[in-house]
C-alpha cells in the first residue's frame, strides 16, 4: 500500500524517517533543548538537511509530569507548525497529540499527519483527520490514559493484542472517513508494555506488517532499549540502530527518530541489502 502524507507519496519499498522535535521543557531525551522557537527551528532545519521526510512536533511530554492543558499545548505547537510549513513547504509535518481540539488547530496551521500516541483516547481525533484530509497514526497504548506509565501489565499474547487493537483503530478511522492511504499503525514500544513485551513486539513485527497497514515504529532511545543494555538515555544509540534495522528488515515503513542521520544511513544499508536501493557509489574491484 502506498502512503500519501501531505505533498509526499511513499512507495512500499521506501523507508521514511520521522524526526522528533519536542516543544517541551522536560523531554526525556534532550531536557528541553528545543522548547524555545529559535532552537526548535534550528532543529527542524538540521533534520531536514540530514534526510528527514517527516517532522513530528510535540507539545506534551509522553511520560508523567506537570500538567499541560489544552491552551498551553496549543501555544507550544500551533504557531510553530505554521512557521515550519512556511519554511519547509514540502516536508511532511506531523503533530504528536491525543486531543481533537489541538489536532483541528494544527491541521488548519499546515500539519499533514496527526500522531495519536495514546490509542484513540479522544475518538474525535480521527474525525478531525477525516475532515481535514490529514493522515493519522493509530497506536497501541494498552488502554492506558495519556501520560501514564504501565505497571505490571499482562497480556495472554501481547502481539495478538497489539494487532487486533491496531487493526480495529485503523478500520474505525476508515469508517469515519480517514483516507486509507493516510493511515499508519504503531505498536508503540514501551507504551502499555514492559521491556520483555516490547522485545516480543519487535521480534514478531512481521505479524503487524502482514495486516497490510503501513507500520511506524518509535524505537529511538526508549526504555526497553535501555533495559536491554542496562544503558542510560544518552548511551542507547547503537541499540536503537540495531532495533531499527530489525524492524526495517521485517517491513516497517516509518521510523520515528532523534538521531536522523544515523537512522537514515542504517535504513539505506537495509534497503540496499534488500535490493530496493542502489549503492551510492560502486568502485570496489572495478578498476
pLDDT digits (tens, 9 = 90+) for 263-283: 999 999 999 999 999 999 999
Q: What is the mean pLDDT of residues 113-133?
A: 97
Q: 14 phi and psi, to 5 degrees?
A: -130, 120
Position 79 scores a pLDDT of 98
pLDDT digits (tens, 9 = 90+) for 171-196: 999 999 999 999 999 999 999 999 99
Angle (CA) 239-54-177 rounded to 5° is: 115
Q: Specify the residue for cell string 521510523.
A: 255
User: What is the C-alpha separation between 103 and 132, in angstroms, rounded?
Assistant: 10
User: What is the C-alpha separation between 123 and 172, in angstroms, rounded?
Assistant: 10
Q: What is the mean pLDDT of residues 154-166?
A: 98
Position 224 scores a pLDDT of 98
User: What is the C-alpha separation between 86 and 193, in angstroms, rounded?
Assistant: 38
Q: What is the mean pLDDT of residues 44-66?
A: 96
Whether the per-residue pLDDT at 207 is higher than 90: the answer is yes
Strand partners, 54: 18, 92
Whether the per-residue pLDDT at 287 is higher than 80: the answer is no
Position 31 scores a pLDDT of 82
Residue 123: CB atoms within 10 Å: 13
To the question of pTM greater than 0.85 for the whole model, the response is: yes
pLDDT band for position 1 (50/70/90)? Answer: confident
Q: What is the mean pLDDT of residues 212-228?
A: 98
Least Cα distance to 53 among 13, 83, 25, 94 occurs for 94
CA 249 to chain centre: 18
Position 179 scores a pLDDT of 97
Domains and CATH numbers, the chain: 3-274 (3.20.20.20)
Q: What is the mean pLDDT of residues 26-45?
A: 93
User: What is the C-alpha separation between 118 and 136, in angstroms, rounded?
Assistant: 12
Position 167 scores a pLDDT of 98
Q: What is the mean pLDDT of residues 239-250?
A: 98
Q: Which three cell numbers stand for residue 88?
A: 519547509
Whether the per-residue pLDDT at 29 is higher than 90: the answer is no
Position 216 scores a pLDDT of 98
Instruction: Tell me the catalytic residues.
Output: 222, 256
User: What is the C-alpha separation between 190 and 223, in angstroms, rounded?
Assistant: 7
Amino acid at each position: 500500500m502506498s502512503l500519501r502524507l501531505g505533498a509526499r507519496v511513499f512507495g512500499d519499498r521506501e523507508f521514511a524517517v520521522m524526526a522528533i522535535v519536542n516543544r517541551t521543557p522536560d523531554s526525556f531525551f534532550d531536557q528541553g533543548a528545543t522548547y524555545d522557537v529559535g532552537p526548535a527551528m534550528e532543529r527542524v532545519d538540521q533534520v531536514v538537511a540530514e534526510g528527514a521526510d517527516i517532522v513530528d512536533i510535540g507539545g506534551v511530554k509522553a511520560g508523567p509530569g506537570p500538567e499541560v492543558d489544552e491552551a498551553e499545548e496549543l501555544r507550544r505547537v500551533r504557531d510553530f507548525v505554521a512557521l515550519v510549513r512556511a519554511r519547509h513547504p514540502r516536508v511532511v509535518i506531523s503533530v504528536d497529540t491525543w486531543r481533537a481540539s489541538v489536532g483541528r488547530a494544527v491541521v488548519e496551521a499546515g500539519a499533514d499527519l496527526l500522531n495519536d500516541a495514546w490509542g484513540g483516547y479522544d475518538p474525535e481525533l480521527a474525525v478531525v483527520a477525516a475532515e481535514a484530509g490529514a493522515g493519522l497514526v493509530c497506536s497501541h497504548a494498552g488502554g492506558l490514559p495519556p501520560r501514564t506509565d504501565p505497571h505490571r501489565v499482562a497480556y495472554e499474547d501481547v502481539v495478538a493484542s497489539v494487532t487486533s487493537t491496531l487493526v480495529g483503530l485503523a478500520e474505525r478511522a476508515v469508517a469515519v472517513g480517514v483516507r486509507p492511504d493516510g493511515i499508519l499503525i504503531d505498536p508503540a514500544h514501551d507504551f502499555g508494555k514492559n521491556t520483555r513485551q516490547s522485545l516480543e513486539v519487535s521480534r514478531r513485527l512481521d505479524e503487524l506488517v502482514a495486516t497490510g497497514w503501513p507500520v511506524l515504529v518509535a524505537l529511538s532511545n526508549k526504555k526497553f532499549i535501555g533495559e536491554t543494555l542496562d544503558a542510560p538515555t544518552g548511551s542507547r544509540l547503537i541499540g536503537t540502530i540495531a532495533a531499527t534495522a530489525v524492524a526495517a528488515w521485517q517491513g516497517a515503513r516509518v521510523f520515528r527518530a532523534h538521531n536522523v542521520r544515523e537512522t537514515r544511513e542504517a535504513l539505506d544499508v537495509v534497503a540496499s541489502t534488500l535490493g530496493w536501493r542502489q549503492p551510492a557509489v560502486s568502485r570496489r574491484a572495478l578498476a
